[in-house]
Structure 1
Amino acid sequence: MGFLENKARARVFYRYFSNLYDTVNPFIWNEQMRDQALEWFDIETGDRVLDVGCGTGFATEGILQYTDDVHGLDQSGGQLSKAFAKFGRDGDVRFYRGDAERLPFADDTFDKLWSSGSIEYWPNPVAALEEFRRVTKPGGTVLVVGPDYPDSVVFQKLADAIMLFYDEDEGDRMFTEAGYEEFEHHIQQRKPGTPRAITTVATVPETEPDAETESPVPSP
């Protein structure tokens, strides 16, 4: 497990990195990549969408171009404070502070769920993907963007020491274990030589593969 695949360490990291996030992010995950992913996400007018790991709201801004029923969740107070500065605490987006592995929403609350730049920090990615399936309506779309595994052995060792990087085979394993039957991976890159993103678009099964036992909580 990488150093930042620890919730307490990740919170401390983002307490400081949030001040630089919007400056650094375009060099790794820019508007063109986001907008391409939004096309795959295929939001319809009126869809209720949850952005997990919303951070400062970079992806949230793109989602708002398609629907006005948008909700953002992040575990970092530093990141959320930047999002509040953009959108307001009572603006177009309703924000929550919470954990991707224990989402504070009832079953089938959202039509679609988006998460970009967050999976790499989750200690248990399969548990979070199961939560995504739980809170998204059957037939709905779940889109997850994470860092693609480097080709270089040296960079692989460095990546493994920091946080989760994964390839398509590992993506297959995680999504299958989490109960998804239909999904596809896309590799995105700002330009040759820059870090690659692996973007997975999955469909929530119409029937649950196993019984859910969690008690529902109020919808937003």
Structure 2
Amino acid sequence: MSSKNHFNDAAPEWDRLRQSYFSEAVREKAIAIAQVQPGKLAADLGAGTGFITEALVRHGLRVIAVDQSEAMLSEMQKKFAGVQGIDYRLGDAEQLPIEDASVDYVFANMYLHHVDNPAKAILEMSRILKPGGKVVITDLDEHSHEFLRTEQHDRWLGFRREDIRRCFFEAGLEDIHVDSLDENCCTKSPCGCEEVAISVFVATGTKRDRKAATPYPYATYLDIKYPSLTVIDLPALIQACKDRWYNQTLCQVNDSVVRLGIVQGEYHWHKHDNDDEFFFVLEGRFIIDLETHSVELRPWQGFVVPKGVVHRTRAPERCIILMVETSTIIPTGDDNGVDV
């Protein structure tokens, strides 16, 4: 049986079943963390029979309720008959029936562990979110209870919090927090052979404003040029500059300079009309966002950003890179590139 068929069958009894899985505190805490504002528009993904939607409407929000199960949406419509401000939509996690940048909040409660591709589902959440809007996911921590795959049709046995944090970052979200909700999801096998209580996490992130300039707060720049015929000891330089942003000119060759960068965080969107840039990763992960796609570099990989190409660079964790660029590019958070 597919997950969709499972929920179609369970829909008439879902409200009763849900009460045995987790308490109303899950939604109250999630909504409190989101700091929702009346009159705003929220998407409730995997809405089921309206567990999250009910609280959102009570707080004065309009809601787009999305679910893959026709039966669940039918039960929800009967439950909220006469209630204004709810838009019911049948949809898939990887192709949400919601316009780009159209909602202020995205809520997904016990949703992610049922989707085929969690990373893509989070990208979709980011797509429909307005700049400055917030995603709130409540789901299961990683566990090993295999009976949930067959009896509850869970696609994933929970998630590692660091994986969720990475997916949020790569979906263009910032101000990311993945923490314990201090709640459990409780269930037992129908055969009675296993009963479990699985911890619940809450993950929040805010949609970046594409034009926002957000350099890393610990930006400190050194500009020490090593003359020709000098040995450059990279390990020693790296060791001396741990735990802060570091950008040092190592040498100049003709009209180009080679710089060592120890980076974390992100830069603003910009372009250089007259200069190419080359990035080479020594340690960590370094992401170059282009207008059409993103390129992720791992150690010993390099990439050239041609002149005139709009881009942004970011590093989810501490990353060590070499940069080769013309000496006309000033090594600061607000360089002489053109903001876009």
TM-score normalised by structure 2 residue count:
0.55
1:212, CA displacement in angstroms?
A: 5.7
Q: Does 1:204 align with 2:207?
A: yes
Quick one: higher RCO (CA 8 Å, sep 6+), 1 or 2?
1
Q: Identify which of 2, 11, 16 aligns with 2:9.
A: 16
Matched residue, 2:52: 59
Instruction: Please identify which structure carries the higher helix content.
Output: 1
Any idea what the Cα deviations from partners look like across 1:45-95, whole Å, max 9, x if unmatched?
211111111110011001112224211111101111110111138743111
- The correspondence of residues 1-220 of structure 1 with structure 2, limited to 5 A, is 9-88=2-81, 91-150=84-143, 155-158=144-147, 162-164=154-156, 165-188=158-181, 189-190=183-184, 194-207=197-210, 209-211=289-291
Aligned positions, number: 202
- 1:39 and 1:126 map into 2 onto residues whose CA distance is 25
CA contact (8 A) 1:103 1:131 kept: yes
- 1:116 and 1:191 map into 2 onto residues whose CA distance is 11
In structure 2, list runs of 5 or more residues that go unmatched.
187-195, 212-288, 294-340
1:103, CA displacement in angstroms?
A: 1.4
Based on CA coordinates, which of the two structures has the bigger radius of gyration?
A: 2
TM-score normalised by structure 1 residue count:
0.82
- One-letter amino acid of the counterpart of residue 107, structure 2: W
Question: RMSD over aligned Cα, in angstroms?
Answer: 2.4
Any idea what the Cα deviations from partners look like across 1:99-141, whole Å, max 9, x if unmatched?
1211122211111111111111111111111111111111110
- 1:160 and 1:175 map into 2 onto residues whose CA distance is 25
In structure 1, list runs of 5 or more residues that go unmatched.
1-7, 214-220
Structure 2 SS opposite 1:20 = helix
Overall identity of the aligned pairs, in %: 23
1:190, CA displacement in angstroms?
A: 4.3
Any idea what the Cα deviations from partners look like across 1:24-49, whole Å, max 9, x if unmatched?
21232211121011100111121111
- 2:112 and 2:206 map into 1 onto residues whose CA distance is 18
Structure 1 SS opposite 2:163 = helix
1:194, CA displacement in angstroms?
A: 2.4
CA contact (8 A) 2:93 2:121 kept: yes
